[in-house]
Chain A
Amino acid sequence: MHFDPRTWTISFGFRENLLQDIKHFIEKKATLLLFFILTMVSITSFLFYYANGLGLAYNDARSHLDIGRRVVENLKPGFAQLGSVWLPLPHLLMMFTIWNDFMWHSGLSGALQSMVSFIVTGIIIYQFLKKLQVDLFGRLVGVLIFIFNLNILYMQSTAMTELLLLGTMTVGVYELMMWHKEEKLVYLIRSAFWIMLSTLIRYDGWFLFIFAAGLIAFHTIRKYGYKTTEGVLVLFCTLGGFGIFLWLVWNQLIFKDAFYFISGPYSAAAQQNQLAQAGVLATKKNLPLSLQTYIYALVYNANLFIVLLSCFGAVLLWFDKKIQSSVRIATFALIAPFFFNVLALYLGQSVLFVQGLSGTSWFNVRYGLMMIPSIAIFVGYLFNRLKSLRFLLLGLVLFVSIFTFANKDAVTIDDARVGASGKNVSEVSGWLRDHATNQNGYVLISVASHDAIVFSSGLPMKKFIHEGTGQYWDLATAHPEKWVRWIIVRTHDTNDLTYKVLQFNPAFNQKYTLVNHFPFADIYELKSQYVPDLEPLPVLTDNK
């Protein structure tokens, strides 16, 4: 450092290649640095939402945790508890930690996989951009877009399945791009593996599997002809489709119908049929509205400015002749979630409400998150192309992000907090906790309708007799007064399985009294004179 008193100037001297050295250091240690930063962000975010209670606001998050818990702790534990409503991988991954009460009730058992996926996705975005010859600045911006998304930060702090799906799909697409680039078999196998995992998380993965197979077929047939294509496709589909095959076998074995997940009473299709009958499935058979709805969801999750930047980035990428055409074609897989969600809305297989467009809630608006890694990649690419404007664009991105964070502007939190996605069952579960803890007798409840109550009550899973407890359920619904002290139902709602089977049961009608009425459920309690007659559940050796 040198001070010149004539000009009042302070001068600092640096080695000419200092900046280059710093850049090389960051490039060399990028993965490690990113791992560290992403881990810190992930943990901080989880702690923040754990502390304010929003981490478990989603009804589905509580249900996922309960499903995982029932596999290891339940009146009838076992893999059959995985059921058919949701694909099994998130619940299988929970099994390693869900036995621990803290991991279950804090939601960490489910959030952990979201957090790991968040870190992996961030690193893969960086690697993806690196393979597209994007410079360090563009790569870091891509990661920044991903981690500065408040909806992503929130969802990675919950036991929801979105981040796990994003992680597996993004890695799958990355490996697919690498195969298109280098045509090494190992990339194809890796891609198939990650896509196979995504098929075991959500049906978005199934679409990606088909989409990826199409891209592989297109690439191979163009370059090598039919015979090679056949071989490559068989290889990809054997591993990539293995998860789907297993799921069909599972449904056949457990429910005696390989397509039970489609036709079952709790399937998405069944739920959407109910909505269609109620006249609130406006996107069904309406392509413009389906498109509009998903684009709105996307915009509300990512914010309009980022989406516009990503559109420019995508167009520039696809028309960049410096990148080999097969790689550019492979990057189309990044927009597979867009096509899937629009198609699902159009076919009436999915429901998504956007406030102001359809309905008054943000129900399932989180589906818009599926494009965030793709958006991050396209924006990172754009920054690489528009070098002269990159600092301006970064400034504008940060400008909008500041307002996002200052306002806590996340639609997924609104969805979780207000409306159908986030039942506030604290009253009913609180009553149950206060009155049933350490008391004799079981709670009869349908977990299909009231899993959130089971979770929020804090009672052990073994306290509940539900439709997944086999013969215990049959016994309890036939003679509730022998075992069941409390019954949780939505009175007069035959969609509630407990009410459906008990509505004409004389014991239920005569020996139980309505003790409390809550927004989401009513609580019936066995009249006091019958309580001494309650018995412990019999030990069943062949409970099927």
Chain B
Amino acid sequence: MKFLIKYKKILGNLLFLLFIASILLLSVRGLPGNPTPTELNTTYWKDNGPFELSPERGRFALLYSIVENHSFNFQPGIAKFTAPDVGYMNHQYVSIFAPSVSFVAIPGYILGKYFDISQFGTYIWLALFALLNVFLIRMIAIRLGAAPLAASLAGIAFLFATPAFAYAVTIYEHHVSTFLILLTFYLLIRYNNLFSLAAIWLLYAFSFTVDYPNIFLIFPIAIAAFFRISTVQEVGKKILLHISLPRVLAMAGVIIPLLLFLWFNKVAYGNPFQLSAGSIARVISVKPNGAPVLLADISKPTSLPQVTKRDEAQGSIFTAFKPRNMLNGFYILLVSPDRGVLVFTPVMLLGIIGILIANKKKVPYMSVLLGIIGFDLLLYSMWGDPYGGWAFGARYLIPAYAILAIYIAILLTYWRKNNIFLLFFFTIFSYSVVVNTLGALTSNSNPPKVEAESLSQLSDQEQSYTYARNISELNSNNSKSYIFQTYAGSYISAWSYYTYITIFIVAVAAFFIVYFQAVTREELGEGGQHAL
């Protein structure tokens, strides 16, 4: 018993880790085997399997080419697997995605390959980032004044009650990006030395190679880090501004990732400054002889009346985002039935109340955290495709969910004695878990409403576009979970599998809330002395 009390904190954290890891393990998508290019091009692996959408295929294709072919270019079989999200340049098939997710996933692929589960190994490896994100949210929230239990609950809410869940079980950039955002922020608030600053700059540059918009999302942290190069001191009637040269030099941390990135671009595209999202010819499909069918060859140019070429803004990272799209973008991301936060993860809206409380309580670093949410929301509301293609929920807002979760922790801390609020929180948390577990266990392949309506007309069959589509998958006894497909599916239905996992998450959260409500303020306080 004494042992338990002594190591209560460690034990609690281990149990928490075990809980998160077990849910992820039960949910990560996959199939057994080490697929070859021929196998990858079958519907077993593609539409019906873990590579249902092109972002997954594109990143896995680069990873596969690096490990198996020792090349940044794709062989025709892999290009066919990735089309239409594959480029063609200098007579080579190339990736059109930022490369680093593929690099990061290499250890998972190699480990998995050893056990004859290369795809599952890749996915589970990337799921580690989701797990780390939960702990980073927890650590940040505690440092900003949240109770440890509230911080843990907020971490659970982020991972299992938002579309982050559906993207933790596959190979997308969102959790790696979120990890980098949270880690740089944690470094900023936890340390203030040369190494932490150099690490922030290094991670900032690296984040760009994971997903280009990260340059904006981490910008508020970079600004805060920049101001750490100087200190202001009042001496008599004078103000002294000290600029630390070593801290200025710490900014050189950006060099290593950028050099590697330039090298990758040089090898892959023949030009160090060629971005994968740039002007690369898109391949629609690959002919049997291995030759490409280019998008430019099959699409006819259309012209607008009275619009001259001179007037059109030149293509760049800036022209891809238009403020005019904002109205539609806000609607799609926040309230629409096919993607909206209100429909998919209303629990995150409680973070807004947390922000107001934090503002009142003068919780530090608000500008930085709200800056991340602001840049995320504004950037993707200006993006021409705020839907994120065929997707589950507003996937672009996953970094914003992480920040909102921090404020949910603060909200829970301050309103922990309000039973009505806790009941309300639990209700919408449960609803959000119910919805998002659907996505995680079935599919992310939900069309935007406009596309679903066109498809309905074409196919003469009702196409659903909300999470109702995922319910249909369960009704058809489909789940893409590796554990379900390999083991559990022989014993229980997909519905039962889904129900058990959902109940497990909700029950653990309920335990947290009840325990949280029950323990006294004195037990909780004093800077995270409590086990959870």
A396 cross-chain contacts in B, Cβ below 8 A: 371, 374-375, 378
Distance from B192 Cβ to chain A, minimum over Cβ atoms (Å)? 15
With the chains together, A402 CA to B375 CA distance in Å?
13
User: Residues 54-79 of chain B: 1 if any A CB is under 8 Å from the residue's CB, otherwise 0?
Assistant: 00000000000000000000000000
Q: Flag if B323 contacts A392 (CB, 8 Å).
A: no
In Å, the complex CA distance between A391 and B234 comes to 23
**Chain A residue with minimal CB distance to B232?**
A14
Chain B residues, CB < 8 A from A418: 304-307
Q: Which stretch, A182-190, A298-306, A327-335, A472-480, touches the partner chain B?
A: A298-306
Q: Does A400 interact with chain B (Cβ within 8 Å)? A: yes
Q: Could you tell me if B318 and A10 are in contact, using CB atoms closer than 8 angstroms?
A: no
Of the candidates A15, A18, A300, A305, the one having the most CB atoms from chain B within 10 angstroms of its own CB is A305
Chain A CB within 8 A of B433 CB? no
Q: Which residues of A402-460 have CB atoms within 8 Å of chain B's CB atoms? A: 402-404, 406-409, 411, 417-418, 422, 424
| B184 contacts the other chain (CB 8 A) | no
A9, A299, A406: the one contacting B244 at CB < 8 Å is: A9
Identity of the chain B residue whose Cβ is nearest the Cβ of A17 in the assembled complex: B237
Per-residue contact bits, chain B 344-382, to A (CB 8 Å; 1 contact, 0 not): 000000000000000100100011001100110010011
Residues of B within 8 A of A391 (CB): 367
Q: Could you say which residues of chain B place their CB within 8 Å of the CB of A356?
A: 328
Question: Is there an interface contact between A408 and B313, defined as CB atoms closer than 8 Å?
Answer: yes
Closest to B362 in A: A388
A224 interface hit (Cβ, 8 Å): no
What are the residues of chain A within 8 A of B242 when measuring CB–CB?
Answer: 9-11
Q: Is A541 an interface residue (CB 8 A)?
A: no
Q: Is the CB of B244 within 8 A of A15?
A: no
Q: Contacts of A411 on B, CB cut-off 8 Å?
A: 324
**Residue among A52, A392, A404 with the highest chain B CB neighbour number at 10 A:** A392
Interface residues of A in 1-51 (CB under 8 A from B): 7-18
CB within 8 Å of B: which of A364-400? 388-389, 391-392, 395-396, 399-400
A146 at the binding interface (Cβ < 8 Å)? no
Given contacts A16-B234, A391-B367, A406-B313, contact A7 B323 (CB under 8 A): no
Interchain CB contact (< 8 A) of A11 among B223, B240, B313, B378:
B240
- Decide if A296 is an interface residue (CB 8 Å cutoff): yes
Contact of B322 among A10, A12, A409 (CB under 8 A): A409
Residue of A whose beta carbon sits closest to that of B304: A418
Whether, in the assembled complex, B316 has its beta carbon less than 8 Å from a beta carbon of chain A, the answer is yes
Assembly CA distance A221 to B239 (angstroms): 55
Pairwise interchain contact B381-A304, C-beta atoms closer than 8 A: yes
Q: Which A residues are in CB contact (< 8 Å) with B316? A: 406
Q: Is B420 an interface residue (CB 8 A)?
A: no
User: Which chain A positions have C-beta within 8 A of B239?
Assistant: 13-16, 18
In the bound assembly, the distance between CA atoms of A418 and B303 in angstroms comes to 12
Whether B5 is near chain A, meaning CB under 8 Å from some CB there, is no
Instruction: Determine the chain A residues whose CB is within 8 A of the CB of B375 once the complex forms.
Output: 396, 399
| B303-319 Cβ-contact flags toward A at 8 Å (1 or 0) | 01111001101001011
The answer for the CA separation of A40 and B223 in the assembled complex, in Å, is: 31
List, in ascending order, chain A residues with CB within 8 A of B327's CB.
296, 299-300, 304
A13 to B233, CA, bound (A): 9
Bound-state CA distance A407–B322 (Å) is 7
Measured CA separation A542–B198 after assembly (Å): 87
A303: contacting residue among B319, B326, B328, B362, CB under 8 A: B326
Given contacts A305-B326, A395-B371, is CB(A407)–CB(B241) below 8 Å? no
Q: Measured between alpha carbons, how far is A408 from B366 in the docked complex, in Å?
A: 32
CB interface residues, A 341-369, toward B, < 8 Å: 356
Tell me, in angstroms, the Cα distance from A406 to B124 when the chains sit together.
Answer: 41
Closest residue on chain A to residue B382 by CB atoms: A403
How many of chain A's residues have a CB under 8 angstroms from any CB in B?
40
Given that A16-B239, A408-B313 are known contacts, is A392 also in contact with B367, CB under 8 Å in the complex? yes
A403 touches B240 (CB 8 A): no
A399 to B367, CA, bound (A): 15
Contact of B243 with A by CB under 8 A? yes
* Contacting pair A403 B321 (CB below 8 A): yes
CB nearest neighbor in B for A519: B305
B246 within 8 A of A: yes
Q: Which residues of A contact B439 (CB under 8 A)?
A: none
A297 CB → nearest B CB, Å:
11
- With A8-B245, A408-B313 already in contact, the answer to whether A392 and B326 are too (CB < 8 A) is no
* A378 to B79 Cα, complex, angstroms: 53
Contacts of B319 in A (CB 8 A): 406-407
Interchain CA distance A10-B247 in the complex, whole Å = 11
Which of B235-294 touch A at CB < 8 Å?
237-246
**In the complex, chain B residues whose CB is within 8 Å of the CB of A52:** 310-311
Query: CA separation between A407 and B317, bound complex, in Å?
Result: 10
Give the distance in Å from the alpha carbon of A396 to the alpha carbon of B326 in the complex: 14
B163 interfacial contact with A, CB 8 Å: no
B322 A403 Cβ-Cβ under 8 A: yes
Q: Name the A residues within 8 Å of B340 (CB-CB).
A: none
Q: Judging by beta carbons under 8 Å apart, are A11 and B245 in contact?
A: no
Give Cα A451 to B239, complex, Å. 65
Decide if A392 touches B220 in the complex (CB within 8 Å): yes
From the candidates B238, B241, B307, B323, name the one contacting A403 in the complex (CB within 8 A): B323
- Give the residues in chain B near A7, CB-CB below 8 Å: 244
Q: Per-residue CB proximity of A298-329 to B under 8 Å, as 1/0? A: 01100111000000000000000000000000
Hey, what's the 0/1 contact readout for B162-185 against A, CB within 8 Å counting as 1? Answer: 000000000000000000000000
Within B375-404, the residues touching A (CB, 8 Å) are 375, 378, 381-382
Q: B311–A408 contact, CB under 8 A?
A: yes
Closest CB in chain A relative to B82 CB, distance in Å: 30
**CB <8 Å contact, A15 and B237:** yes
Complex Cα spacing A396 to B376, Å? 11
A392 and B370 contacting across the interface, CB-CB below 8 Å? yes
How far is the CB of A53 from the nearest CB of chain B, in Å?
Answer: 10
Nearest CB in chain B: distance from A320 CB, A: 17
Q: Complex formed: what's the CA distance from A450 to B492 in Å?
A: 77
Contacts A12-B240, A16-B239 given; indicate if A399 touches B216 (C-beta within 8 A).
yes
Among A17, A303, A407, A411, max chain B CB count under 10 A is at: A407
Question: Cβ of B330 < 8 Å from any Cβ of A?
Answer: yes
Complex Cα spacing A389 to B223, Å:
14
Q: Could you say which residues of chain A place their CB within 8 Å of the CB of B359?
A: 388-389
Judge whether A392 and B244 touch: CB under 8 Å. Answer: no
Minimum CB–CB distance for A115 against chain B, Å: 22
> Nearest chain B CB to A4's CB is how many angstroms away?
8
**Smallest CB-CB separation from A410: which chain B residue?**
B324
Per the bound structure, the CA–CA distance linking A406 and B378 in Å amounts to 16
Give the residues in chain A near B370, CB-CB below 8 Å: 389, 392
Residues of B within 8 A of A400 (CB): 323, 326, 378, 382
A-B contact pairs, 9 of them (CB 8 A): A9-B245, A13-B240, A52-B310, A303-B323, A392-B366, A396-B371, A396-B374, A399-B374, A418-B305
Task: With A16-B237, A418-B306 given, name 14 new contacts (CB 8 A).
Answer: A7-B244, A9-B242, A9-B243, A9-B245, A10-B243, A11-B241, A16-B234, A300-B327, A356-B328, A388-B359, A389-B366, A403-B323, A407-B323, A408-B311
Binding site for B on A (CB under 8 A): 7-18, 52, 296, 299-300, 303-305, 356, 388-389, 391-392, 395-396, 399-400, 402-404, 406-409, 411, 417-418, 422, 424
The 3 closest A-B pairs by CB, nearest first: A406-B318, A392-B367, A304-B326
